[in-house]
Amino acid sequence: MNGGKTILILGGGVGGLVAAHSLRERLGREHRVVLVDKSRQHVFAPSLLWLMVGWRGVPQITGDLGRLPQRGIEFVQAEVLAIDPAARKVTTSAGEFAADYLVVALGAELAPQAVPGLAESAHWYYDVGGAERLRGALAKFDGGRVALVVAGMPYKCPGAPWEGALLLDYYFRQRGIRDKVEMSAYTPEPLPMPVAGPVVGKALKEMVEARGIAFSGQAKLTAVDPARHESVFEGGKKVEYDLLVTIPPHRCPQVVKDSGLAGETGWVSIQPRTMATAFERVYALGDVTMIKLANGKPLPKAGVFAHGQAEAVARTIAAEVMRAGKPAEFSGEGYCIVETGYGRAAVGAGNFYTEPDPAVALQLPSRYSHLSKVAFEKYWLWRWFGGRLPGVEALADRVVFGKALPTA
């Protein structure tokens, strides 16, 4: 391969942003790194929970992708309309692009309309608009029945529904109205975070129940009746609510499905360690993919995995383009910091690629873990959108993430 190469990255979320920076730092300037996203706003999703309870405003949890050119990354604000993976050609609302390497990191879409009545009646904190509307609804809420419903599988961040439940409990306590609020949580899963095994699942369930939140597993939402304020579950069970908070169903973006990249699961199938798709020099990573683990369950959709995968893909592409360094693999390591209120957080961490089950352990909530979560939020926005301090960045990358990959 001679001459300058173009690496085209679709999506400027966690995976796309990390891949773009890592590539830019590894490739010579004759090579182009181009990132396409329909939005200029990068959202640090873990902080949506804090946005929901009013502890953060939108500017504190977002970054401007329009600043990427300052770092040598071309940014195209446009919607991806069609992907031809065999030809590595992409049609966008801003024109056509051809690539030597294509990285698809378009994430998962929220689809509340997939359950009849849900979009009209429920609140959610899974995007900026939803979290802001829920904050407004919470401010007006003085008591009643709060139903927290996971409306479909798979969904992003297996800890987030339980984090949301614990944080809402704390929020109501802070407002002095907890005794007037009845809280219950429903999910199609048997236990919270089943991928991490029954020990972690039971520990999280106990944490939720200890705060007076009733937990119902294997509860599959089939419809919502907005007029009656009722959630209807498979088998006919009906639950009345005054405030319905949902984790909406997720789906693979239609443009990805139409491209032929999505497999039987409806998500992109990739090699679990290299993120290679069935198409030459086309990689996919993060929430848009589905990786089946040894225990048959899917690898959860989480930023920590999108991040590790993006690093590995960037190293592999850079090694090939620069003919230096080695290709890299994603190790399966991940962690999740679950905010529990009272200035504390619990950490679940481990390797999800171990057999026969992921080796994941949950640490009890601590003040230290909460402070790590706050520090990580600040680090994230500074690392990709703040002023450049290259030496400090390299050190912080290693300290904050305890990187699974060796320095290359």
Q: By the criterion CB under 6 A, which residues form the site for ligand FAD?
A: 11-16, 36-39, 45-46, 48-49, 79-80, 105-107, 125-126, 156-157, 160, 253, 255, 286-288, 301-304, 306, 336-337
3-state DSSP of 322-362: HCCCCCCCCCCEEEEEEEEECCEEEEEEEECCCCCCCEEEE
Nearer to ligand FAD, 82 or 324 (CB): 82
Nearer to ligand FAD, 20 or 213 (CB): 20
Of 67, 66, 94, nearest in space to 80 by CA: 94
Element (H, E) at 394: helix 390-401
Taking CA atoms, 5 is separated from 18, 51, 188, 293, 318, in Å, by 19, 40, 46, 34, 10
Nearer to ligand FAD, 229 or 273 (CB): 273
- Report the alpha-carbon distance of residue 68 to residue 403 in Å, rounded: 24
- Least separation in angstroms between residue 15's CB and ligand FAD is 3
- Report the alpha-carbon distance of residue 214 to residue 184 in Å, rounded: 4
- Report the alpha-carbon distance of residue 168 to residue 183 in Å, rounded: 9
Nearer to ligand FAD, 326 or 367 (CB): 367
- Report the alpha-carbon distance of residue 48 to residue 175 in Å, rounded: 20
- Least separation in angstroms between residue 374's CB and ligand FAD is 12
- Least separation in angstroms between residue 240's CB and ligand FAD is 26
- Least separation in angstroms between residue 236's CB and ligand FAD is 30
Taking CA atoms, 373 is separated from 53, 267, 273, 305, in Å, by 16, 29, 27, 17
DSSP per residue, 195-230: GG-HHHHHHHHHHHHHTTEEEE-S--EEEEETTTTE
Nearer to ligand FAD, 69 or 325 (CB): 69
Give the residue at shortest CB distance from ligand FAD: 13
- Least separation in angstroms between residue 286's CB and ligand FAD is 2
- Least separation in angstroms between residue 29's CB and ligand FAD is 25
- Least separation in angstroms between residue 193's CB and ligand FAD is 12
Residues belonging to the chain = 408
Nearer to ligand FAD, 232 or 245 (CB): 245
Greatest C-alpha distance within the chain = 69
